Structure 1
Amino acid sequence: MGSLHRHLKHTAMATGLLAVSLAGPAQAQSQGNLYLGVDLHGWSFSPDRGSNWRDFGVRGKFGGRIAENFAIEAHAATGGSDRSNGATLELDYLMGLFVRGDIPITRYTSLYGLVGFSELKYTLANDSDRDSSVSFGFGGDFQVSNNTSLNIDWIRYINETDYDYSALSLGARWRF
């Protein structure tokens, strides 16, 4: 199963890099194809049995449109720790690569869905572990100026047999 995860991860990364490089010619014709965002990352580490760990970290994202309503988006998050039942869990890092599909609702709002692949590294009771998984989520953008929007999303980053890692994030995105 580990080699399948590595293969999916490498395929997703290669696809993302190809899509972002193909978006290059479109950038010269239209402004706003690339974007950068910063979010408050409210994460939850939920084992199948036992207590949940929850805290806040920070997430950055970078993306590029590859078509009018589709983009490739990369996420990186870190920060936060929680203590439950005498054990401390710390988020070392989270990285993800997604295909994003937007559905315009009004001139200033849109809903979006994300599907991709993520890797999580965490430390639980001084023992580090790393997992990767297919990821999915949904969210909304609310435009506040020509190049700035506020966003909220929920993403299930890791879906392992013995735990899930998901996050509700709130932040801002700038197009350039």
Structure 2
Amino acid sequence: MRFEKGFTLIEMLMVIMILGVLMGMVTPRFMVVRENAKVAAMKMNLHNVQLVIETFHAEQGYYADDFYEDEYGWYFPGGIENEEIGKLPTNPWTGREMDPDEFNAEDYEEESDISNTVENGPNDIYGYCPGEIRYGVWDPPGTWYPTHYGLVGIQHSGVSVRDFDAEGEVLVFVLHN
């Protein structure tokens, strides 16, 4: 009887099948981790934009209505006043630097709307492109400039970045003053 070294066809097929099952279990988890990393990058973008807004407020004494009229863009790193905007954050879903058009200015109806984090509330928004930032402001009656703002990031499905509380209720991620 002759013995040859090597694997039989059945053994090779079993190894391939086991590897396929393992890959099938790992791949969906990898996609979730990847999406969570993009959401974390979006939250970091919101924090960076908030720093720009607060720096602008400290130097100019007011909050701007939007990113165009009052030159928030100059306060991003590398910006030169009255000449060019600085380097805007990178959109986690496209991988490219954000455009000023991706900062969507909107007005709040009430001051309490700014910190509202409930599902279907004023900060639970739909219909934007992934990676965009909604800059909401509230102008009290009789004032020239907004006194409060809220920043909401948009995730992959075009809805507000959200988390869940201990009871499983949706909490919209909002940065505000």
Pairwise TM-score range, normalised by the shorter structure = under 0.3
* Structure with greater proportional strand content: 1
Q: TM-score, normalised by structure 2?
A: 0.28
Please tell me whether Structure 1 or Structure 2 has the larger radius of gyration of its CA atoms.
Answer: 2
Between 1 and 2, higher relative CO (CA 8 Å, sep ≥ 6) is seen in: 1
